[in-house]
Amino acid sequence: SQELEQSPQSLIVQEGKNLTINCTSSKTLYGLYWYKQKYGEGLIFLMMLQKGGEEKSHEKITAKLDEKKQQSSLHITASQPSHAGIYLCGAGLSLIQGAQKLVFGQGTRLTINP
Amino acid sequence: DGGITQSPKYLFRKEGQNVTLSCEQNLNHDAMYWYRQDPGQGLRLIYYSQIVNDFQKGDIAEGYSVSREKKESFPLTVTSAQKNPTAFYLCASSIGSHKQETQYFGPGTRLLVL
């Protein structure tokens, strides 16, 4: 079965600083999804990566998938309090009838100090 | 505004009681999913449905049941057979026509046992 490991598990940064969260897969990734979750709330979709070497950005968040498609990183530039939350990476795994399920890492809890 | 709604936000279950969690989407998505989130265990797939009147068991279906009578609705019943129901339940939906496609999540329902 596919497993995702995120690092670090917890991260505290000063507002305005840059940070990186990593996601490593035990198998090749065919679809890698990044979500953000605030405690007690649902998951908010951030970005999806499929191709080796792919990089996507949205506002101050950049996600990359390595050439071998086994590792992804999420980079936040000039962090703000609104970036605080739990970041989850998920891998899409095929099920029957063309469906897929998401297998998630344990999450990285990000705290931004003013 | 298109989206996924879940109700109630909090649900209390007494011993031996069945309870039903609601999930509605107006995104015109064919596929819908139920995940369970426990601290330190990430999200796990309970049931999924690709089309109306059809659904499949996920990884932890025991003690749960679902129905899919309408495209927009995918309610989850937590039966008395589920011995450890305390968790955060998340409903998701996706277009349902591609293998790698984004799943969008609802705000979640927290189930607590009295």
Write out pLDDT tens, residues A66-99.
989 899 999 999 999 999 999 999 999 888 777 8
Task: Give me the total of CB pairs closer than 8 Å, taking one residue from chain A and one from chain B.
Answer: 71
Q: Do A99 and B56 touch (CB under 8 A)?
A: yes
Q: What is the largest CA-CA distance in chain B?
A: 41
* Nearest chain B residue to A49, by CA: B100
Instruction: Measure CB to CB from residue A94 to each of B50, B58, B99 and give the nearest one.
Output: B99
Q: Do B48 and A95 touch (CB under 8 A)?
A: yes
Q: What is the mean pLDDT of residues B86-110?
A: 92
Q: Do B110 and A40 touch (CB under 8 A)?
A: yes
Residue B96 confidence (pLDDT): 85
Helix (H) or strand (E) holding A90: strand A85-94
Q: How far apart are CA A92 and CA A7, in angstroms?
A: 19
Instruction: Measure CB to CB from residue B42 to each of A41, A50, A105 and give the nearest one.
Output: A105
3-state secondary structure of A30: coil
Q: Do B100 and A31 touch (CB under 8 A)?
A: yes
Q: Do B42 and A102 touch (CB under 8 A)?
A: no
Residue B99 confidence (pLDDT): 73
Positions of chain A with pLDDT under 50 = none
Residue B1 confidence (pLDDT): 63
Residue A17 confidence (pLDDT): 98
Chain A residues near residue B106 by CB distance under 8 angstroms: 42
Instruction: Look at residue B98 and tell me whether its pLDDT is greater than 90.
Output: no
Chain B residues near residue A98 by CB distance under 8 angstroms: 50, 98-99
CB B105 within 8 A of CB B88: no
Mean pLDDT of chain B: 93
Whole-number Cα distances in Å, A61 to A22, A79, A98: 13, 9, 31
Q: What are phi and psi of A95, to 5 degrees?
A: -115, -175
Instruction: Look at residue B65 and tell me whether its pLDDT is greater than 80.
Output: yes
Instruction: Look at residue B79 and tell me whether its pLDDT is greater than 90.
Output: yes
Interface test with A, best of B90, B105, B112 (most A CBs within 10 A): B105
